[in-house]
Amino acid sequence: MKETAFFNDFLRMADDAWHMGWHESNGGNLSYRLRDKEADEIRESFMPGDWHKIGVGVPVLASSFFIMTASGSHFRNMLKDPETSLGIIEVDDTGERYRQVWGYANGGRPTSELAPHLLNHQVKMEATGGVARVIYHAHPSDIIALSFVLPLEDEAFTKELWGIMTECPIVFPSGIGVLKWLPPGSLDLAIATSKLMDRYDAVVWAHHGIFAAGADFDSVFGLVHTIEKSSGILLKVMSTGRDRLSGITSGQFKELAARFDLKLDERFL
């Protein structure tokens, strides 16, 4: 297990995110959908447990394997004690149940936000033709702070962040979604997020954090890092109390799209 690339990439992202300050206490969670070849390479180390209800049907993910953080685990301990801090689960052939097959030592279990992860893995798998494999939830402070001072609307967040840092429309050309506060780990939160993740790769959970998806660990970490950094810049600009004397215009967005062959969502231009 410890020699596989996906395992070490998972640990690296978790440790990097901890050092970014995005995971106080046991906050946040991370999951990755294994390729068939990756699951086959480590299958001999599996020790399957009992089947449990997921709480939501994910038939598209039938017979898939996921590595994900444990409920109550601390990102700061991922490198030190991975067999307690994370584990691997298998979804059954109906997409209704899961079982633990590796890790989650000392009576552990998958993240309490298992339903949001799996439901949105299914959405992103269908939306990207199987390309998206990583789902990540973090608590970056500037993103959370911004959810108190901007309207909780996709357009408001996207336009403000696109306009504050040139990299933003390049990194998230489809924009970002925004949800009002909903109970963490709830089915309501899972379903509401899934309705936005069909269009976006990142959704702000108001007063809570961010939920993001992508093809690999680098792209997802970079997406969240970009949104958090631009949120911090925006908050600094807002804190001056002065009128803005310049900004990126709609015409410049179009120039950027042509320069980098981007398909920017025209709702935000």
Active site members? 113
On whether the CB atoms of residues 200 and 128 are closer than 8 A, the answer is no
On whether the CB atoms of residues 54 and 115 are closer than 8 A, the answer is yes
Alpha carbons 86 and 53: distance in angstroms, whole number? 19
Query: For residue 197, which of 264, 146, 122, 141 has the smallest C-alpha distance?
Result: 122
On whether the CB atoms of residues 144 and 209 are closer than 8 A, the answer is yes
Within 10 Å of residue 246's Cβ, how many Cβ atoms? 5
b/e 59-94 (16+ beta carbons within 10 angstroms → b): eebeebbbbbbbbebbbbbbeeebebbbbbbbbbee
On whether the CB atoms of residues 100 and 49 are closer than 8 A, the answer is yes
